[in-house]
């Protein structure tokens, strides 16, 4: 899949714009013994983009998608140190794996760092549709997000939504 187009599609989902259809052939690697449609991506091939639906500083690299359709998606999120994500919910189940750093995640309608669980490297969180949650980082943190779209984010307090600024 074309990683550039997938990143653009992810950004479109977070902004609410129309989707760019991915080209399923350009970023796939062919190796002996692999089937057509088999995707392999190395970290240096990821194309990072800003995420308009999260507070400034977060980056996304979509590996599989598009995220706004009812298909499987996989993306990496890179969050800077001292980052906060206000209480929000998603329209699909969230599967999140910590690849580096520590992701402090809590459940509830108000941001309270004392009510979070420190998810370290290798930890995973599975959040059901519509469950309010929030998060923060102390150090730069790399996450892998996957699920079945359509994906989106709704802040409990509309004033927290960076798309409305």
Name the nearest CA neighbour of 47 among 72, 75, 24.
75
State residue 156's pLDDT score: 98
68 lies in which domain range? 3-26+41-164
pLDDT tens digits for 63-109? 999 999 999 999 999 999 999 999 999 999 999 999 999 999 999 99
Is 32 a member of any domain? no
Is 31 a member of any domain? no
Quick check: 46 pLDDT over 70?
yes
What's phi and psi for 114, nearest 5 deg?
-75, -15
Is 104 a member of any domain? yes
Angstrom distance (rounded) from CA 95 to CA 129: 11
Count of Cβ atoms closer than 10 Å to residue 106 Cβ:
18
Q: Which residue has the higher pLDDT, 141 or 11?
A: 141
Is 35 a member of any domain? no
pLDDT tens digits for 112-164? 999 999 999 999 999 999 999 999 999 999 999 999 999 999 999 999 999 99
In 37-96, which ranges are continuous DSSP H helix? Answer: none
Angstrom distance (rounded) from CA 15 to CA 7: 12
Q: How many domains does the chain have?
A: 1
Is 145 a member of any domain? yes
Q: Write b or e for each residue in 28-45: b if 16 or more Cβ atoms lie within 10 A of its Cβ, otherwise e.
A: beeeeeeeeeeeebeeee
Q: What is the DSSP letter of 17?
A: -
Structure tokens, 163: 């798309």
Structure tokens, 12: 């479109």
The residues facing 84 across adjacent strands are 136
Is 7 a member of any domain? yes
Q: Are 87 and 133 in contact (CB under 8 A)?
A: yes
Query: Domain of 116: which CATH number?
Result: 2.60.120.10
Is 58 a member of any domain? yes
Does the reported pTM lie above 0.75?
yes
pLDDT tens digits for 12-31? 444 333 222 233 333 444 45
Is 33 a member of any domain? no
3-state secondary structure of 107: strand
Which stretch of DSSP H or E encloses residue 94?
Answer: strand 94-100
């Amino acid at each position: 899949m074309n990683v550039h187009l997938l990143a653009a599609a992810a950004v479109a989902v977070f902004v609410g714009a129309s989707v760019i259809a991915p080209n399923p052939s350009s970023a796939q690697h062919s190796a002996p013994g692999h089937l057509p449609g088999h995707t392999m991506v190395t970290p240096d091939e990821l194309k990072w983009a800003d995420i308009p639906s999260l507070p400034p500083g977060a980056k996304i690299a979509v590996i599989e998608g598009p995220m706004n359709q009812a298909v499987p998606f996989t993306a990496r999120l890179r969050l800077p140190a001292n980052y906060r994500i206000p209480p929000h919910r998603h329209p699909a189940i969230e599967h999140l794996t910590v690849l580096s750093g520590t992701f402090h995640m809590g459940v509830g309608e108000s941001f309270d760092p004392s009510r979070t669980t420190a998810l370290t490297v290798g930890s995973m969180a599975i959040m059901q549709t519509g469950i309010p949650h929030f998060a923060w980082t102390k150090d730069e943190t790399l996450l892998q997000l996957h699920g079945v779209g359509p994906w989106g984010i709704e802040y409990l307090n509309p004033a927290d939504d960076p798309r409305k600024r």
